[in-house]
Amino acid sequence: MKDTIITGVRVRKVYAALHVPFTIASGSHEKLDNVFLEIKLENGVRGYGEGASSAHITGESQSQIYAELEKAAKWIRGKNACDYHLLAEAEYKISCRAALTAFEMAVLDAWSKTLEVPLWKFFGDKANKIKSDITVVVGGEKSEEDFLEKMWRTGFDIFKIKIGTNFDEDIKRVLFINNKFPGARIYLDANCGYKAKTSLKFMKELNKRNVFPAVFEQPALREDFDGLKFLSGKLNVPVCADESASTFEDAFRIIKYGCSAINIKLMKFGLLRSREIFNLAKAKGTKLMIGEMLESPLSSVCAAHFAAGLGGFDFIDLDTPFFLKTNPTQDRGIIRKNGIYEVSGVCSGIGVEPV
């Protein structure tokens, strides 16, 4: 198909202010600073992708993602977007994972627009319902309480509480949220802030007070695979690996050796590798979370297509668009105020474009 030749490539940096800093145990984002990729096909179709920076987690900065995509633009032009080998070639030519994700996203967006189908149909025969949690970042108590009240009123009923900075204060925060919002589900995320034994103690303290979180994410140091396995056998909730799953090889190891859950973030693996990790986890009976870095609605909705089409995700953590003061995209109401993603109504592609 000659009309799917890539005739144009545009790479640009994008910024957006946040309502509150997105602070976790390992670092903080004061603003969104990502990179958008646009490819144009000879048939006039445009595909869009996003690379999200997260220097304190992946080590990939906005400038690095931008440079990788600018370099990739030189060999992308003139290629046929519907040549599947183009995606395989990108695996070896784009070393930055977030940049690779942006490229795969843009190509798949262009494919599905050309075929006039929504992206989720690449992954399944129906769009399963997707509703995100909302993250409770590490920060001042008053601003945290105001934010939670607002989210609760709009329909959020799952709170993912960031811990890992101060044991006693973290216990108080979890107890406060549990008491303030009866009936809400609680997720915990230590982001490598606690060692495995500290996390075990933390959970025991909560259980003594009749607080039973639904999942405990990254309750051990990044390289402590044995700690994740130990906690998976000790705790009565799923233990979800995130930072420990930095590469496909890490993910394979985590699934093989018995960690009870894994967080799939497209920015760490790309869409093709993420699909393979999904298949491995399902084969082994490992529970699944779909997560993200600090991302705009473009890549957040792409992740929602991925999870909705495949189905079978136990935990949905696609909440960063709710932290943005300004929206650098047109998402056409796909993301609802209560955290529901309505991808079933998308006619073709991702359904989100940069402004």
Predicted confidence at residue 68, as pLDDT, reads: 97
214: alpha, beta or left? (left if phi > 0; alpha if psi -120 to 50): alpha
> Which pTM value belongs to this model?
0.96
265-299 tens-digit pLDDT: 999 999 999 999 999 999 999 999 999 999 999 99
Q: Classify residue 191 by its DSSP letter.
A: T
Q: Quick check: 50 and 20 in contact, CB under 8 A?
A: no
Place of tokens 């990108």: 90
Q: Classify residue 118 by its DSSP letter.
A: B
Predicted confidence at residue 125, as pLDDT, reads: 96
Structure tokens at 296: 């705009």
Q: Quick check: 321 and 327 in contact, CB under 8 A?
A: yes
Distance, in Å, from the CA atom of 28 to the CA atom of 33, rounded to the nearest integer, reads 12
Give 290's contacts (C-beta < 8 A, 6+ positions apart). 263, 264, 265, 303, 304, 306, 307, 313, 315, 316, 317, 318
Place of tokens 């958008």: 36
Is residue 280 helix, strand or coil? helix
Is residue 318 helix, strand or coil? coil
Distance, in Å, from the CA atom of 7 to the CA atom of 149, rounded to the nearest integer, reads 48
15-56 tens-digit pLDDT: 999 988 887 766 677 899 999 999 999 999 999 999 999 877
User: What is the mean pLDDT of the segment spanning 59-65?
Assistant: 95
User: What is the mean pLDDT of the segment spanning 190-216?
Assistant: 97
Is residue 19 helix, strand or coil? strand
Other beta carbons less than 10 A from residue 314's beta carbon = 14
229-276 tens-digit pLDDT: 999 999 999 999 999 999 999 999 999 988 999 999 999 999 999 999
pLDDT band at 141; cut points 50, 70, 90 = low
Distance, in Å, from the CA atom of 19 to the CA atom of 246, rounded to the nearest integer, reads 28
Distance, in Å, from the CA atom of 207 to the CA atom of 200, rounded to the nearest integer, reads 11
Is a pLDDT exceeding 70 seen at residue 77?
yes
**What's the mean pLDDT when you consider all of the chain?**
94
Predicted confidence at residue 29, as pLDDT, reads: 79
User: What is the mean pLDDT of the segment spanning 208-236?
Assistant: 97
Nearest to 188 by CA among 207, 203, 198: 203
Residue 324 backbone phi and psi in degrees, to 5: -85, 130
Which domains are delineated in the chain? 2-116 (3.30.390.10), 121-354 (3.20.20.120)
